Structures are given as C-alpha cells and as structure tokens.
Amino acid sequence: MHRVLAETYPEAGCELDFRTPFELLVATVLSAQTTDRRVNAITPALFAAFPDPYAMAGAPRAELEEIIRPTGFFRAKTDSLLGLSAALVERYDGEVPARLSDLVTLPGVGRKTANVVLGNAFGVPGITVDTHFARLVRRFEWVTEDVAKNPVKTEHAVGALFPRKDWTMLSHRLIWHGRRRCHAKKPACGACPVAHWCPAYGTGPTDPVVAAALVTTQGPA
C-alpha cells in the first residue's frame, strides 16, 4: 500500500510554507484546527513583522493576535507563540532544537508538531499522527481500534511496521491520501489506488465515476 501511495503522490510533502525551522514550528502550531492554506496566507505578514524568536518573544500581544486571528483560536495560539519564542531565546539561544525531547518542552508543542519539525526541517525521521493519518491507519487496520484512540500508541505501532527512514514520507503520503481521496465522511473508494488491499473498501462510493468526482487535487486541510 505504501509503495502504491508513493507512486500516486510523487510530489507529497509538507504543505506548510517555511524557510527556517522556526518558521515551520510556528506554522505547525498555527495549523491546529485550520487549513494549511489559511496558515500560508498569513505567515508572510507574520514573519515580516516577527522573523525570529527574539522578535516574536517581544511582540505586542494585540498585534500578534490580529495577524493570526484568521487561523482561529488566536488567543491560545498567541500564548503558545509568545511562550515558545521566549523559551527558545532563554534556553536554546534562539535556535529551534533538533531533538524531540527538547521540542515537546516548548509551550504549545506536542509530539505531532515536534515530528513535523524534525522530519521536514532537520531530516530526522518522524511519524506525524494527525487526524488524516489516524483515520487511514485505522481504516487500513494497521492498528487496532484500541491503539487508534491513542496518538502516541499509534505512532509507535505504525513505526514498527516500516523502516525508520520511511517514516516522514509515509506520514506525508497518508496525509495527502486522506486529504485528497480517503475523506472522513465520504471516501472516494471507487477511485482509490489501494482499494484492493483496504478492509474499509465500500465505506464511500465504489462507482468509479461517482468516486472520481470526490477526488480533490489539493488538500483542504
């Protein structure tokens, strides 16, 4: 299934725009409960105003809130951005650490965010268990229902099935497939390249024409 998904999505990768580890860290925090496209729309202005942890740690709260307001939950996200920026300045000389154990100590940063940063900014393999990834590995029965309820258990269980070097790209490919075909409410089963192996085949329309109309070329979230 992974091989076929790799062939189906050769361009799969991080859909958040970033130039530095700090930009990716901030963008990933902002991406919670919103779309990558919405985050990408506001980050140019955000990083023009506050390009590094030193600048963001000293940002006026009202100004920061106004810039990130379109991403939703902007007050909580502002808390996270101010807190993680201050922590980077105080503990890491303004540099984003390249270890999961350090990243998860930053305000607003959990394992999912840490693995996104490690895999895409530092080349350290990691599995990103977002809603799409969790849904697909449950449908594929790569994990049991009990494991699927726990993101950390899911991360470890799926990681045991694949070589470590594949973890980051595996995450991208499953997330792309979840955004483009294997939707939560109506998956495009009849237009799915891995339908032959999928235990959940038939959850969505199996007619090829009907299913093809559900396929999107760009992920909505």
Residues with active-site annotation = 112, 130
Residue count (the chain): 221
| Contact status, residue 117 vs residue 28, Cβ threshold 8 Å | yes
Long-range contacts of 145-151 (CB under 8 A, 24+ apart): 151/111, 151/112
Distance from C-alpha of 151 to C-alpha of 92, rounded to nearest angstrom: 28
Query: In 3D, which of 58, 8, 43, 21 has the Cα closest to residue 173?
Result: 8
**Other Cβ atoms closer than 10 A to 32:** 18
**Other Cβ atoms closer than 10 A to 164:** 11
Q: 150: exposed, middle or buried (C-beta count within 10 Å: 0-12, 13-18, 19+)? A: middle
Helix and strand numbers, DSSP H then E, in the chain: 13, 0
Q: 50: exposed, middle or buried (C-beta count within 10 Å: 0-12, 13-18, 19+)? A: buried
